[in-house]
Amino acid sequence: MDKEARIYSTENGAVFLKSSTKNDIIKLLMEGDKTSSDIQEKLNRAKSTVSVHLSDLKEIGLVKERVDPDDSRKKIFSLESKLLGSSDAPYTKQYKEILGNLKHANGDRYLFLKTMFHLIRYGLVSLGLDVHPALKEIGRDAGMGLAAEFHSDDLEGLLKEIGEFWESNGLGAVDVEGTKDIVVHGCFDCGGMPDVGQELCSLDEGLLEGIIQERLGITVNVKEKECSGTGEDHCRFEVSVR
């Protein structure tokens, strides 16, 4: 079982959840709506245990229930919250390295702002908070807001426009490979970051998803496959249409 604590956004604010069973239930509901029997079967837990956890999750506003239209004796549960972040191993060493870079950025406005962005973001990570889910959600909202600035009506053309947008706004130099891969050199989000063993550009993932989905009306998943955070000298994003 995954025992890390997670933070969720609800109508009434953030909820901090440490229960591994409750987090496992929410992960199942992220896949789609389910009955209590579905959840019980997937988790291999007693009916009474699942019932208690679902009741708790409803009470704190993380899930909601409705009657199954095909069988009034059953209830269907759905997610009523969004994952904001989770506890993680602190990157104290990497944070100190970024902090040391700040003095070298003095006098270069772009580099200073970029370093401050990294400092704030990874300062939170150094405290043990994985903020990637929240950053991706924020990026997706920003992308949806920016979508009106683009004009292409097909994915290939839109990705080329996005490449031009990235470069003109200092987010990196982009190579688009067909409709599936985007390669970014000099990425604003992670450029100059130390190798921490994981991809870092969740904000960019969200931006790309938001622009594409809002402009073309299709659902896509953008996943970073290569990154400065994994020791590469570039970022590679894979775009898949759902």
> Tokens representing 205?
């993932």
Mean residue pLDDT of the chain comes to 88
What CATH number should be reported for the domain whose range is 132-241?
3.30.1380.20
pLDDT band at residue 232, thresholds of 50, 70 and 90?
very high
Residue 76 to residue 28: CA distance in whole angstroms:
13
pLDDT by residue (tens digit) across 138-181? 999 999 999 999 999 999 999 999 999 999 999 999 999 877 89
Q: How far is CA 51 from the centre of its chain?
A: 29
The structural domains of the chain, with segments of one domain joined by +, span 6-84, 89-130, 132-241
pLDDT by residue (tens digit) across 50-84? 999 999 999 989 999 999 888 888 899 999 988 87
pTM (2 d.p.): 0.69
Structural contact between residues 132 and 122, judged by C-beta atoms closer than 8 angstroms: no
Q: Return the closest-CA partner of residue 239 out of 141, 138, 160, 173.
A: 160
Residue 47 CB-density burial (10 A; 0-12 exposed, 13-18 middle, 19+ buried):
exposed
> CATH topology for 6-84?
Arc Repressor Mutant, subunit A (1.10.10)
Structural contact between residues 84 and 7, judged by C-beta atoms closer than 8 angstroms: yes
